[in-house]
Structure 1
Amino acid sequence: MSDIGLATRTGRLVVTAAVLGSGMVMLDGTVVNVALVRVGAELGASMADLQWITNGYLLALASLILLGGSLGDRFGRRRVFVIGVIWFTAASVACGLAQSPVQLVVARVLQGVGGALLTPGSLALLQASFRREDRAAAIGAWSGLGGVAAAIGPFIGGWLVEYASWRWAFLLNVPIGIATVWVAQVAVPESRDELASDQFDVVGALLATAALGLTTFALIEHASLGAGLALAVAGLGVVAAGGFVAVERASTHPLVPLDLFASRQFSAANGMTLLVYAALGALFFFLSLQLQTVLGWGPLPAGVATLPITVLMLLLAARGGRLAARIGPRLPMTLGPLVCAVGAALLSGVDAGSTYWTGVLPGVTVFGLGLTLLVAPLTATVLDAAPDRYAGVASGVNNAVARAGSLLAVAALPAVLGLTGEDYADPAAFSAAYASAMWICSGMLAAGGVLSWLLIRNPAPPAPTPVQPTAPQRVARRLAPAPAGWSCAGAEGCPGHATAAAPEPEPEPERA
């Protein structure tokens, strides 16, 4: 069903369900970054523990999100979306009750499983429900309204972490999850790929999980493993990734149809996603720790510091989607990452002597403006480059790439910058690494903009429908004088005009 208009009541409710589901995930991500320092202090966590609290979730999400999109295409996108919301909500309760770093990491992994089911579903619902001319605007509205959750997150989450407990920040997902399930069941139409196979690519899912899991484990635990063993584990991850590609190529029911990547538009958009979201995940991880460890801010002001980004997304993301629909995605997807790169470069100067107004606000504002340009056209480009029957898979691929980028960046950058143990709590050790991390993020964002300019292409405009002249117009054209400069000599007469010398022959009478 893809004939719903955005301005209709059903259209608004479909967007609401998608926003509530994805907004719950956005809210959780905001709260976790703000809560990391308090969690570390209360549970006695190390730097590696904090990385796993973030990456345990991202690992499960990135590894299984392809399977989540495929399940939605086969068994119903609304059904799988609702199951994911329920799962995510239950895992949030487990996070709120955790009593040790290990328990919290396990609960976060379970959250990632739920997120892998609901995240591709939120976008696939939009792609499958709305008519084509409304999809870009619907995705823009989804991006902007999703910013409401992210905008509320720093206030509610930061306040709960600072004045109540970080546990309540997870338990906040319970009422949101209940509301999401109700709206989805009441208003969202079911959709699926009617041609999908009933078989599942179990081997492909296991290899994808092994590839990301082994690589992440080697990056995070490199200090305890030693250089040789860490390289060996990472090598196994690379082998698993190669095995995944081989299995997908040979499978008759692949988790990821590799034919999707035959589209340069699809491949380029996902390559840009990898770079941009790697920078995005690392930037928020390091900035939150910098504000609390080096500047000495509490969780609430540290969370509110990034509020301009979410406000700008709320106000401008839908307009960014409409702009890209009008002029094509190439320019917004080029300028957006370049503007974000400038914002990350400005944030590299945040240190112990910085104030919010001169040190933090300029960087987060410029960064937010860049995001408003790129988020909606990026998502719309990925989905438009794939056939509608693969809406869930295409959304799953793009989300998997985004989460894998964040996962690998958060795992790799501390190792690259030499952060280990409890360095996150040492202002002198962390501040120098933070500045380098911001410049690396800026470079990745700039590379994403260059990639878009080189490879993304605007879709060809639809061919105009020829307008047939009316009967009076045809008569007027026949009686009009010949255009100046035309010669009416010859057998054909004047172009577009009847010739007086050659009257139309009368039909021959029928013979008996």
Structure 2
Amino acid sequence: MTGRKTGRLAPAQLWSLALSCLAVALVTAAMVALYSALPPIAADTGATQAQLTCIVDGYALALACLVLPGGALGDRYGRRKVMVVAGAVLAAAGCTVAESADESRPAIDLLGTLFAATAVGLIVVAATEVPEHGWLDPRVLGLTGAGIGACAVFVAVELRVEHPLPVAPWLAERVGLRLVTCAGLAVTAIGMFGLGMLTVDSTYIDLFWPLMVIGLGLALSATPATAAIVAGIPVHKHGVAAAVNDATREVGAAVGIAIVGSVLAAGYSDRIAALTPMLPEEIRGTVSDSLAAALRVTDAIGPSADPIADQAKAAFAHGSQQAAIALGVVALITAAVTAVWTPGRRRGDTPTPLPPPEISGDRGELESRM
């Protein structure tokens, strides 16, 4: 059966999806490496909490400034060409990406959703067990094998289902963009308030569930918004549309990182200020700079400095609580604004699937039907 009759993804679309996932994976890996390097950076350079915020913000600012010109260049000269030029990592595979793709309205895929969540959950849990038990531990091997098996089943399901994932656009089509987006923002706020309850004595589960809730909220709110931005723009302008979407996200991230970083730094400084007058002159500034710097000093001093380390950790936890609560409040305010300004689903509207793109030629070029 052809892609036109089944609604399945064409080979060119599968390549586009794979490359998009690769690009996101590279960006995510780079950010994880940066976040992991922040403590040694602070300890080695003496960077303050505010300076660490600037380090993190540099990425978001650079992307926010360059994503719009990049989208315009893609529309003008071809998205495939821009991808090839953009990075050596994607150069080889970028030549297979079609210049544009049509949007369809997928039906819900409950089975795919189940196996996707199972695969990610099992692999993540396995990865968290590695530092304590090692790669060859039966538990780690079992969880990893089960996660890989769930991935294989997920791929098999998605290759056969008439309308593959994602779920959030399906919900937006049926209940309206406003309801799904507001619900996602409200769920995100709940997760943020959960992070705001963390203390120095919190367990892994106390951290795990708020992060899972935040992930669910972001999926519900961000994905339909992205689909709405792209769907409202002609195909030949999809590059700029995607760039606008990314630019708003990165500008918001840059501003958010700056504000939240300032709240965290202020909370840490406020709590640690009561301790610094009692410290020797030579370590006051270091302990006041950041948690990483304070722990480096206390480790060098020895067990006698453990109370200082405990108070520094408590001060950082206080700043983190303040930052998370601030983000939760912002999410709720955004949900309220979205409820007023975002269009909902009009009465009598019934979702009608858009025709899938035509595939022609050996290279699988997509011919838009818009």
TM-score, structure 2 length as denominator? Answer: 0.61
Partner of residue 189 from structure 2, selected from 341, 344, 353: 341
Q: After TM superposition, list the pairs within 5 Å mapping 1:80-479 onto structure 2.
A: 80-86=82-88, 128-129=100-101, 131-133=102-104, 318-357=166-205, 359-417=206-264, 418=266, 422-425=289-292, 426-458=312-344, 461=349
Give me the whole-angstrom Cα distance separating, in 2, the residues matched to 1:127 and 1:424.
48
Aligned to 1:75: 77
Q: CA deviation at 1:88?
A: 9.3
Deviations 1:115-140 (A, max 9, x none): xxxxxx9xxx79931x3325899xxx
CA contact (8 A) 1:31 1:154 kept: no
Q: Structure 1 residues 154, 84: CA separation in 2 closer, same or farther (over 3 Å shift)? A: farther
Q: CA deviation at 1:344?
A: 0.7
Aligned amino acid, residue 289 of structure 2: E
Give me the whole-angstrom Cα distance separating, in 2, the residues matched to 1:403 and 1:37.
24
Aligned to 1:20: 22
Secondary structure of the structure 2 residue equivalent to 1:344:
helix
Q: Structure 1 residues 52, 414: CA separation in 2 closer, same or farther (over 3 Å shift)? A: closer
Give me the whole-angstrom Cα distance separating, in 2, the residues matched to 1:317 and 1:19.
14
Aligned to 1:293: none
Q: CA deviation at 1:379?
A: 0.8
Q: CA deviation at 1:349?
A: 0.8
Give me the whole-angstrom Cα distance separating, in 1, the residues matched to 2:320 and 2:8.
43
Aligned amino acid, residue 321 of structure 2: A
CA contact (8 A) 1:47 1:423 kept: yes
CA contact (8 A) 1:127 1:391 kept: no
Q: CA deviation at 1:70?
A: 0.7
Gap regions ≥5 residues in structure 2: 135-150, 159-163, 270-287, 293-311, 353-370
Aligned amino acid, residue 132 of structure 1: E
Q: CA deviation at 1:439?
A: 0.8
Q: Structure 1 residues 345, 462: CA separation in 2 closer, same or farther (over 3 Å shift)? A: closer
Give me the whole-angstrom Cα distance separating, in 1, the residues matched to 2:212 and 2:319.
23
Asked if 1:64 corresponds to 2:66, the answer is yes
Q: CA deviation at 1:401?
A: 1.4
Aligned amino acid, residue 457 of structure 1: P
Aligned amino acid, residue 445 of structure 1: A
Q: CA deviation at 1:71?
A: 0.8
Q: CA deviation at 1:413?
A: 2.7
Give me the whole-angstrom Cα distance separating, in 2, the residues matched to 1:341 and 1:136.
28
Partner of residue 54 from structure 1, selected from 42, 53, 56: 56
Deviations 1:23-66 (A, max 9, x none): 21122223322332133335554334422331121111111111
CA contact (8 A) 2:105 2:173 kept: no
Q: CA deviation at 1:449?
A: 1.7
Secondary structure of the structure 1 residue equivalent to 2:100:
helix
CA contact (8 A) 1:339 1:369 kept: yes
Aligned amino acid, residue 414 of structure 1: G
Q: CA deviation at 1:462?
A: 7.1
CA contact (8 A) 1:136 1:321 kept: no
Secondary structure of the structure 2 residue equivalent to 1:128:
coil
Secondary structure of the structure 1 residue equivalent to 2:82:
helix
CA contact (8 A) 1:127 1:135 kept: no
Instruction: Give the greater-gyration-radius structure (CA).
Output: 1
Which moved further from structure 2: 455-464 or 33-42?
A: 455-464
TM-score, structure 1 length as denominator? Answer: 0.45
Instruction: Using CA pairs under 8 Å that are at least 6 residues apart, name the structure with larger relative contact order, 1 or 2.
Output: 2
Give me the whole-angstrom Cα distance separating, in 1, the residues matched to 2:14 and 2:130.
31
CA contact (8 A) 1:128 1:388 kept: yes
Give me the whole-angstrom Cα distance separating, in 1, the residues matched to 2:328 and 2:170.
27
Give me the whole-angstrom Cα distance separating, in 2, the residues matched to 1:367 and 1:34.
21
Give me the whole-angstrom Cα distance separating, in 1, the residues matched to 2:75 and 2:31.
26
Q: Structure 1 residues 81, 437: CA separation in 2 closer, same or farther (over 3 Å shift)? A: same
Gap regions ≥5 residues in structure 1: 90-120, 164-310, 465-512
Give me the whole-angstrom Cα distance separating, in 2, the residues matched to 1:376 and 1:328.
13
Aligned to 2:35: 33
CA contact (8 A) 1:344 1:441 kept: yes
Aligned amino acid, residue 333 of structure 2: A
Give me the whole-angstrom Cα distance separating, in 1, the residues matched to 2:174 and 2:200.
45
CA contact (8 A) 1:6 1:134 kept: no
